[in-house]
Amino acid sequence: MSPEPKKLFLCFQEIVYYVMTELLRNKVAESGIITLDLEQFYPDVLSVVELDIKQFLFRELILKEIDFRNALKAYDWSVYKDKTVAVYCSTDAIIPQWAYMLVATYLQPVAASFHFGNAEKVAYDLFLHQIKQLDVTPYQEERLVIKGCGTKQLTGEAYLEITKKLQPVVKSLMFGEPCSTVPVYKRKA
């Protein structure tokens, strides 16, 4: 006699359940490894507004002090109200240092913050600042993976800074993805 189809089906379900729960365990989830994605600290480049000072120069190349001062005075600085401003000059003009100081005096009362460089450089500098300001207490004695793949091109400087910040407090530090890591540091017992 052949077994009843219902009993065979129940037996098959039990086997599938066993395979799913025992043999195909998610060891990564059970490992206690924390993944830290550095991109979460990266500001939106679009939130950084650029101020190219070439517009205040004679023929966008020569800084004439009186004309420069008058152009700054006549400019509508309210467009930078509560913004992060990237100040730079996109031409090969020779800009004296005091000119940037003068621009700063106009930005100080209106901008949330201002920095030297184009929007991309300023966003990266702000990103590095976020890493340096990271509160490391949640990572105390933890096993940590710094995520390696992402949408942004991060430089070695970012990885140097995060390692400098985390090494004194973590149990171990790795690079990559939790399923495939490169060991970087492990505290000796």
* 69 within a domain of the structure (yes/no): yes
- What's the domain range around 97? 45-124
> Which residue matches tokens 């096993």?
143
Residues 112-122 as b or e (16 or more Cβ within 10 Å = b): eebbeebbeeb
* pLDDT tens track for 18-57: 666 655 554 444 557 889 999 988 887 778 999 999 999 9
Residue 92 lies in a domain: yes
Mean pLDDT, the chain, integer: 86
Answer yes or no: is 134 within a domain.
no
User: pLDDT tens-digit profile of 115-149?
Assistant: 999 999 999 999 999 999 999 999 999 999 999 87
Within-domain flag for 56: yes
Residue 156 lies in a domain: no
Q: Is residue 161 part of a domain?
A: no
User: Does 154 fall in a domain?
Assistant: no
Alpha carbon distances (Å) from 153 to 102, 119, 148: 34, 15, 10
**Residue 106, domain member (yes or no):** yes
Number of domains, the chain: 1
